[in-house]
């Protein structure tokens, strides 16, 4: 693929349009213009600020190719080997924030949808670029509630592997009590930091549920704060440990909280919600502290059909077929909220996402474009199983 192929050109222009979460409009505008340039029937920005493009060809299934347009911040710009907003192609890789996670997927999907329309299909094919994925998924929550679809191809980075889901995420603040005293007379108090230390050691030794395609639940302490803050000669009266808990579907939130509570019966557990609004203020939503797991159904015609396409198309392009699950959370549960089956496949590499080494193989963009086209055509080809 030459550096000026339609996919690489669009991927570069998306990377060059900065779009940190809640300020995605420049990249959304690039995507809308691309939908129009590629002959989509309609393209618009919805109430949440998502880019929506659609190709309508009468009765048939409704399929969506989806990704998020927002990115994490650029980080230390001096640490990047190539500037994060450059979209430079160097030694076969396109560089910049969002190159892997996941503007390139949206470029592949846009070109693939136009190619699928050229081939011809019956049904409805959406390409959507959603906002705020990195901070709770306001865009996908709104999209999943407002556009009913049968199947979604989600282009989060997967190195061209088939991904069937991921664990849930629960963010828990564990408040551990103590009693304030002068640090020179600690026996008069009760040190909340030492209590936190015992809690963390017990957590480290705890056995968490494991088994099945999603692996095992994990509990990672990510923050420790003591109160009064700055009280450097005070025995702290409270410590707050934040736990990033990734749960299997059969390790539900109530079990998770009971397990954490058992480590210290006097702890107070708080699962916080966050309030988010779209850039325009038209959509406001509460993002719960519990983000559900997603696992595609085992016996499902769309899953079977996607697997057939990938088993056929990837080896034909020199890529071994592999399937598994993502280790990170995605918009999948929000996109599936009305029953859609979500199928994961993307050209990006999850290991470089969010880092100053973010880049993507240009060859993989070419392969992903062709595979997205074949996936769309296969998923749109009449009622699965018929
Ligand atoms: Zn992502």
**What separation in Å is there between the alpha carbon of 134 and the centre of ligand 1?**
7
Angle value at C-alpha 358, between 311 and 84, nearest 5 degrees: 140
Name the residue ranges covered by the structural domains of the chain.
Answer: 6-166+293-380, 168-277
**Spatial distance between the Cα atoms of 336 and 354, rounded to a whole number of angstroms:** 25
Please choose, from the candidates 138, 150, 68, 71, the residue with its C-alpha nearest in 3D space to the C-alpha of residue 109.
68
Q: Beta strands 51-57 and 123-130: pairing type?
A: antiparallel
In angstroms and rounded to an integer, the radius of gyration of the C-alpha atoms of the chain is: 23
Determine contact, residues 94/41, Cβ cutoff 8 Å: no
DSSP secondary structure string for all residues of 34-46: HHHHTT-SEEEE-
Measured between alpha carbons, how far is residue 35 from residues 107, 131, 335 in Å? 10, 17, 21
Ligand 1 centre distance from Cα of residue 325 (Å): 14
Measured in angstroms, how far is the CA atom of residue 330 from the centroid of ligand 1?
A: 7
CA atoms within 13 A on the CB side of 93: 16
CB distance 115 to 5 below 8 Å: no
pLDDT of residue 230: 86
Asked whether the domain spanning 168-277 has the same topology as the one spanning 6-166+293-380, the reply is: no
Specify the pLDDT at position 307: 98
Measured distance CA(68)–CA(101) in Å, rounded:
8
C-alpha 223 to ligand 1 mean position (Å):
23
Q: Which residues, including other chains, have CB under 8 Å from residue 172's CB and lie 6 or more apart? A: 242, 243, 245, 256, 257, 260, 269, 270, 271, 289
Q: Give 218 Cα–ligand 1 centroid separation in angstroms.
A: 20
Helix (H, G, I), strand (E, B) or coil at 366: helix
- Opening angle at CA 200, ends 209 and 244, nearest 5: 55
Q: 41 alpha carbon to ligand 1 midpoint, in Å?
A: 27
Q: How far is the CA of 103 from the centre of ligand 1 (A)?
A: 9
Q: How far is the CA of 270 from the centre of ligand 1 (A)?
A: 27
> How many Å lie between the centroid of ligand 1 and the Cα of residue 128?
14
**157 CA from centroid of ligand 1 (Å):** 7
Q: Residue 281 gets which letter from DSSP?
A: S
Cβ–Cβ under 8 Å, residues 130 and 119: no
State the distance from the centre of ligand 1 to the C-alpha of 318, rounded, in angstroms. 25
d(CA 133, ligand 1 centre) in Å:
7
Strands 123-130 and 62-68: parallel
* Residue 1, pLDDT score: 44
How far is the centre of ligand 1, averaged over its atoms, from the C-alpha of 114 (Å)? 23
Q: What is the pTM of this model?
A: 0.92
**Which of the four CATH numbers 3.40.50.920, 3.30.70.360, 3.20.20.10, 3.40.50.300 does domain 168-277 have?**
3.30.70.360
The alpha carbon of 68 and the centre of ligand 1 are apart by a number of angstroms equal to: 7
In the reported structure, the alpha carbon of residue 101 is separated from the centroid of ligand 1 by a whole-number distance in angstroms of 5
Q: How many A from CA of 98 to the centre of ligand 1?
A: 8
- 10-residue mean pLDDT series, the chain (386 residues): 80 98 98 98 98 97 98 94 96 97 98 97 98 96 97 98 97 97 97 98 97 96 95 96 96 97 98 93 94 94 97 98 96 97 97 94 98 98 54
The neighbour count for residue 123, using CB atoms within 10 Å, is 20
Distance 339 CA to ligand 1 centre (A): 22
DSSP-assigned letters across all residues of 307-320: HHHHHHHTGGGT--
- Ligand 1 centre to CA of 242 (Å) is 23
Task: Tell how far the Cα of 56 is from the centroid of ligand 1, in angstroms.
Answer: 27
Task: Tell me the CA–centroid distance for residue 19 and ligand 1, in Å.
Answer: 13
6-166+293-380 carries CATH number 3.40.630.10: yes
Ligand 1 center to 87 CA (angstroms):
18
How much distance in Å is there from the Cα of 162 to the middle of ligand 1?
A: 15
Gap from CA of 156 to ligand 1 centroid (Å): 5
Distance 187 CA to ligand 1 centre (A): 50
Q: Are 368 and 108 in contact (CB under 8 A)?
A: yes
| Ligand 1 mean position, distance from CA 174 (Å) | 28
- Phi, psi of 384, rounded to the nearest 5 degrees: -60, 140
Peptide bond into 228 cis (omega under 30): yes
């Amino acid at each position: 693929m030459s550096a000026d192929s339609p996919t690489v050109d669009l991927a570069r222009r998306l990377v060059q349009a900065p779009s940190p979460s809640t300020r995605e409009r420049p990249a959304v505008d690039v995507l809308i213009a691309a939908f129009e340039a590629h002959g989509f029937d309609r393209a618009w920005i919805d109430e949440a600020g998502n880019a929506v493009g659609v190709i309508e060809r009468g009765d048939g299934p409704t399929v969506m190719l989806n990704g998020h347009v927002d990115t994490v911040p650029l980080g230390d710009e001096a640490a990047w080997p190539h500037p994060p907003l450059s979209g430079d192609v160097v030694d076969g890789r396109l560089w910049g924030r969002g190159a892997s996670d996941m503007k390139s997927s949206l470029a592949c999907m846009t070109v693939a949808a136009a190619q699928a329309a050229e081939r011809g299909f019956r049904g409805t094919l959406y390409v959507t670029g959603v906002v705020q994925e990195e901070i709770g998924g306001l865009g996908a929550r709104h999209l999943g509630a407002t556009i009913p679809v049968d199947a979604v191809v989600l282009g989060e980075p997967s190195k061209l592997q088939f991904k069937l889901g991921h664990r849930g995420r629960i963010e828990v603040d564990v408040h551990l009590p103590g009693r304030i005293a002068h640090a020179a007379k600690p026996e008069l108090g009760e040190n909340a930091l030492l209590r936190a230390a015992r809690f963390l050691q017990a957590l480290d030794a705890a056995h968490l549920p494991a088994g099945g395609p999603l692996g095992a639940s994990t509990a990672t302490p990510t923050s420790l704060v003591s109160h009064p803050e700055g009280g450097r000669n005070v025995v702290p009266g409270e410590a707050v440990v934040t736990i990033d808990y990734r749960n299997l579907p059969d390790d539900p939130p109530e079990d998770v909280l009971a397990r954490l509570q058992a480590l210290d019966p006097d702890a107070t557990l708080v699962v916080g919600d966050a309030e988010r609004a779209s850039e325009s203020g038209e959509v406001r939503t509460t993002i719960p502290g519990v983000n559900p797991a997603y696992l595609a159904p085992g016996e499902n015609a769309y899953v079977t059909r996607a697997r057939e396409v990938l088993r056929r198309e990837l080896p034909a392009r020199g890529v071994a077929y592999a399937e598994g699950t993502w280790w990170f959370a995605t918009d999948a549960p929000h996109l599936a909220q009305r029953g859609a089956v979500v199928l994961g496949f993307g050209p990006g590499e999850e290991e470089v996402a969010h880092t100053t080494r973010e880049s993507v193989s240009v060859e993989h963009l070419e392969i992903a474009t062709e595979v997205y086209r074949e996936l769309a055509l296969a998923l749109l080809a009449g009622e699965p199983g018929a």
